[in-house]
Amino acid sequence: MKCVVYLDRQHSGKPGRKAEDRGAAADLDGDGSISVEEREAMLTARYGLAAEAALIEAGHIVVPIADGWYSDRHRRVNQYAGTFPKEYPQVYVSLHLNAGGGDYGCVLFDHRSRSGPELSARIAKQLRMVAPEVNGVKCIPAKPDDWTRNAFGTIGGIMQPVAICYEPCFMDNPAHADLLTREGLAAIGRALAAGIDAWATTCEV
């Protein structure tokens, strides 16, 4: 089934005082400094583009987003959602990378969503296959009142599309270094697309 997918490159395009935000950072090449290319939003752009290409090749519609406050992006997506045929499933993905020394991957979904657990499970299955470096891929309900509240803030304003926050690996874990190369980022982007495609073929609107 054809699906509409909104790929939101977060930590980019914020206005005003947050205009320079590019998210987490890590010295990936070990040269003692952090370049622009070693910041979260620059890396998510790479895996997001790989996901976009794979989704289009599979016959889906992709709407990339990369600017505005998150609340503004959510309102925009809610408006866009009503312009597509009702029979098309819709998915919103906030694109991220983790930091803080963890060793796992995770797909967080809106705790209010009926379809979120299944979509997350489909994506997690694909990520596990391409990322043996991660110590499991967790599917976690994001809520506004516990430790997942930051992730909830990245998706909580989305209404019609099924919303997830994709955190495939940790930037500051040396064991995940291969996933942050061009080839690794392309692989985790394609895993995201494959999970969405698998979900779209079986879901009921």
Summarised one tens digit per residue, pLDDT across range 8-32 is 999 998 898 888 889 888 878 888 8
Domains and CATH numbers, the chain: 4-200 (3.40.630.40)
- pLDDT attached to residue 166: 98
| Among 110, 92, 120, CA closest to 6 | 92
SS3 69: coil
Residue 63 is encoded by which pair of tokens? 């709407």
Cβ(190)–Cβ(54) below 8 Å: yes
Whole-structure pTM value: 0.95
- pLDDT attached to residue 103: 95
Residues 6+ away with beta carbon under 8 Å from 17? none
Helices (H), the chain: 40-57, 70-81, 116-130, 149-155, 182-200
Cβ(171)–Cβ(26) below 8 Å: yes
What phi and psi, each to the nearest 5 degrees, are found at residue 109? -125, 155
**Within the chain, which residues score under 50 in pLDDT?**
none
- pLDDT attached to residue 204: 58
Q: Where does residue 195 fall: left (phi above 0), alpha (psi -120 to 50 degrees), or beta otherwise?
A: alpha
